[in-house]
Structure 1
């Protein structure tokens, strides 16, 4: 693992007491673990957008069933997100943006847009696609329970560094929610443990210390920490990044 570009913040820039209650004391955190459920994985073929779309459609159905059942049982708000999967360059995504080169998934409100680009089809990685779908669906679920909305215009930010920290906490919470879902369906996937390890290795390379630029996503160590935490606990309550130490959200 590479050394993070910026490490060792002495303390959080914003204390939990500075944050809205919906972030730090949300009822979701006390709802309990996600039950083990089953999810099928359709065949994923090389250079075949149709099979990738079919795979993602199946995973999103699993996500809807899993989170929808959980929310109903726990008395939490839930509504299935709208999902658009694009396979043709040149069209606009769900936010009206042209086909982009720097991202493959987009969220506009509670509508999820996925762009299946060439590099995703040349070497298709089923678990990477599942993680992407689970992260986006987890983000929408966090929006339903008021967590995402509470980060918009309700936090007294002063500096760019504070805003970056908020962004990291939000996206690392999404990573943890992905881990919660994957952990809940892992047994049904009948995959060896090395596949989970391979996914974590892949996600390490998406950290700020690998890609450079603003510190918006979290470094590789933080991403892996929250994914592993969600996977092991299978509990959204384990994903409260808003009360975590600065070291855990670098």
Structure 2
């Protein structure tokens, strides 16, 4: 789930993939740091930022993640697990941005037990968390219903999806989205929202593929996740701003099967595949 703030569009707009979240009254933030590699270039602007991102040419994600386990009902173990996953994502995407010769900065990570607002607006309905582009913060809800599910790969996919919105922000894709949907008709806004959300599904799944062994994800379990999404993935989003269940499943599989951002260019895909 992503929020586009005033830095990217004249009015806030929301979209994104919700997973469930959890219970505890603690907030935490990851340090925001900028990579120091030499010869950086500004990210592409406008449509090219989305359709021809240098990130598509950076090869497979190089990722590993000893995140530990979540104990059912334990807010502390959930926060620890998600913090470790965020660190793994920082390392993986820092490498991809270096390959693309683009500047990189870590997002802020904030845990919350209430559905807090942000510079991007209210907590999106139905979401377990979201990303706000204005303050580059990932909000993760620590809610009671999430703590009932200790299956780590589900939560990795959720975190990696929200992190993918940060990748889109750094790569200029989020700015293109905001510029294109400002003052656009509703059908256009929804079409752009689906492309940005389905790309995040794909990028998140590419990361999950690379850490599958670390988080004990078996192929049959992945297949079950995809099948569930195909049947149910759209039910939280009645306006179809995230794509129908089969579309979500399609892009999840593309990312997982490739392990690379190259499979995740939703911006040049046919309208049918992002329906």
Q: TM-score, normalised by structure 2?
A: 0.75
CA contact (8 A) 2:120 2:132 kept: no
Give the Cα separation in 1 of the matches to 2:200 and 2:243.
Answer: 12
Q: Deviations over 1:54-111 (max 9, x none)?
A: 110111011111111222233122111000011x34x735448677762211222211
CA contact (8 A) 1:206 1:220 kept: yes
Does 1:53 pair with 2:79? yes
Structure 1: unaligned runs, 5 residues or longer: 1-18
SS at match of 1:107: strand
CA contact (8 A) 1:181 1:231 kept: yes
- Alignment counterpart, residue 241 of structure 1, candidates 235, 242, 266: 266
Q: TM-score, normalised by structure 1?
A: 0.83
SS at match of 1:153: helix
SS at match of 2:85: helix
Give the aligned CA root-mean-square deviation in angstroms.
Answer: 2.3
Give the Cα separation in 2 of the matches to 1:171 and 1:207.
Answer: 12
- Alignment counterpart, residue 22 of structure 1, candidates 34, 41, 49: 49
- 2:111 aligned partner: 85
Does 1:193 pair with 2:244? no
Alignment of 1:25-174 (within 5 A): 25-35=52-62, 37-86=63-112, 88-89=113-114, 92-95=116-119, 102-109=126-133, 110-154=136-180, 158-174=184-200
Cα deviation for residue 206 of structure 1 reads 4.8
Cα deviation for residue 221 of structure 1 reads 0.6
More displaced 10-residue stretch of structure 1: 136-145 or 195-204: 195-204
Structure 2: unaligned runs, 5 residues or longer: 1-45
Q: Deviations over 1:10-61 (max 9, x none)?
A: xxxxxxxxx72211122222222223x3211312111111111011011101
Query: How many equivalent residue pairs?
Result: 228
| Greater fraction of residues in helix | 1
Q: Deviations over 1:132-152 (max 9, x none)?
A: 100011110111011111111
Give the Cα separation in 2 of the matches to 1:84 and 1:73.
Answer: 28
